[in-house]
Amino acid sequence: MSGVITFIAVGILLWLLGLSLSSPEGFMQAAAIMESFIVKFIIWGILTALAYHIAGGIRHVLMDFGILGETLEAGTRSAQISFIITVVLSILAGVLVW
């Protein structure tokens, strides 16, 4: 699910980037769009989904290399750690956005 959200979010983020780089007026429009609470919340959600996707991806790569182990206990522990990392990154993203 986080991959689908991230894939859709890339379009939104690229549109906002293109608008901000188009001209000084485009930058002002992008800045005005980012002032809305709803837009900030959407951007925060996008960054949270991206953080979850990256944390889960790194977890799976480490499991594929055999670093984390492939037992039920190791899988449960690594999932808990990836959730904790996602929460920390989500809080940092909230600080960045607001």
Using only the alpha carbons of the chain, give its radius of gyration: 17
Burial class (CB in 10 A: 0-12, 13-18, 19+), 47: buried
Residues annotated within a binding site for heme: 53
Q: Which residues are annotated as a binding site?
A: 53
